[in-house]
Amino acid sequence: MSLKEHRRRYGLTQEEVVAEVRKRALARGDGVIPGLNQCTVSRHENGHKRPGPYYQALYCEVYGATPFELGFRLALPGESSDHEDVDRREFIAGAAGLAAEAAFAALPVPPTRRLGDADVARLRQSVVQLYKLDDQHGGAGAVYPLTLRTFHRVRGLVERAGYDAASGRALRQLAGETAAKAGWLSFDAGRHGDARRWWLEATHWSRLADVDSVTILATASMAFEASDQRRPREAIDLATAAQRIAGRAATPRLASLLLAREALGHAGARDAGSAHAALRRARDLAETRRDDDPGWLAFYGPANFSLHEYDAAMMLGDSAAAEGAARAALALGDPVAYPRNQALYTIRLAAALVARREIDEGVAVASQAAAAAGALESARVTRGIVAISESLTPFTDDPGVRQFLDRTRRTV
């Protein structure tokens, strides 16, 4: 049945649907939805405007139906679209988000019974799904509001559900991990103030859970953000603080990541000796995977280590070393599991080539990155392409450069 048929089946007016949608948005902690009114519902029902993934999820809650039952489908190639249309990546993100939320629907309503190990395991799979969605899509689209809803639901369970001490610690740790993911998504979307607030929220829940892993994750993330925003001394302090918290219990790969984050701070401070020393210590450790590695560390390995080498080299003005590191990252990366990271590696290589005045290859590689950006929702990727475009403006006499700049102005 269509949206209109479901509404009539429930005996609701369009105004009543608006009220129900608003009620569910407020229950999720999303606040008031701007622009939602009877006209919006009418346009969704009559096919004049496809509801985006966020509206789809709310309609599914109102009518207790699946996306398929409500007639939601993928946009076909070549169909016109605007900011609310459902393209393929948005639909996938929305559908995966609904799957992640299914874990909450299956949980008992307090106080019917206490949460047990199986409930916590199901919740953890939802959080794992958020990490996968971030790897595939980035932080600027549908994944972020889903992450916020997940955090508020876990926090609500901590406050209202029944559980034993072990399940309570696990719930608090999940709240911290979800807050840390919200921080990373905010950073990826370019919202640095939000990112830092979420990472501080994550450390709060880490203390409540009496676990260090989330604090280490949040502190290492803040170190990376600090170096990205040209606060090198803060980056060094945060990276070394994370190392102190991890102590001797740090696995080799975790130790490698924290050393690489420290190296970025030293490079930003123009301390080449300390930066290279930290990178040398981190290099061999990056390849060692162990069963006791933190789950959130899955993204880090030789490819991501090479990304840190690239960033350090560029900060130190060594574009030749940066080019080599970018090529290594591309060769070692996994474009299927981590398409956003692969796009970032491509952007890094293009930037290094332009810095070395290898304009033809730089434009060719930058074109690949711009094409990949269309399937992602990452402000970091977009900013990288814009930065390459700006660095190419002195070379507009080159027809290839002009064509690239014209194309990116239209699409990025």
Amino acid 223 reads: A
Q: Which residues contact 258 (CB under 8 A, 6 or more apart)?
A: 216, 220, 239, 242, 243, 246, 250
- The pLDDT, as a whole number, for residue 87 is 42
- The pLDDT, as a whole number, for residue 108 is 52
- The pLDDT, as a whole number, for residue 55 is 80
Handedness of CA 34, 40, 41, 45 (dihedral sign): negative
How far is residue 342's CA from residue 240's CA, in Å, rounded to a whole number?
28
How far is residue 166's CA from residue 17's CA, in Å, rounded to a whole number?
41
Residue 168 CA to its chain's centroid (Å): 26
Q: Contact, 264 vs 315, CB < 8 A?
A: yes
Give the global pTM: 0.74
State the 10-residue block means of pLDDT for the chain, 412 residues long. Answer: 81 88 74 76 84 78 71 46 41 48 50 75 83 74 81 89 93 95 92 95 97 96 97 98 95 97 98 98 92 91 96 97 97 88 94 96 93 80 92 93 88 66
Region for 25 from its dihedrals, namely left if φ exceeds 0, alpha if ψ lies in -120 to 50, beta otherwise: alpha
Is 81 buried (19+), middle (13-18) or exposed (0-12) by CB count in 10 A?
A: exposed
- The pLDDT, as a whole number, for residue 238 is 98
Amino acid 116 reads: G
Question: Which residue has tokens 């002009």?
Answer: 402
- The pLDDT, as a whole number, for residue 160 is 86
Which among 125, 208, 205 is positioned nearest to 165, based on CA atoms?
208
Sequence spans of domains, the chain: 1-75, 87-211, 231-290+299-332, 334-412
- With vertex at residue 308, the alpha carbon angle to CA 303 and CA 310, rounded to the nearest 5 degrees, is 90
- The pLDDT, as a whole number, for residue 91 is 44
- The pLDDT, as a whole number, for residue 147 is 86
Q: Contact, 162 vs 187, CB < 8 A?
A: no
* Fold observed for domain 1-75: 434 Repressor (Amino-terminal Domain) (1.10.260)
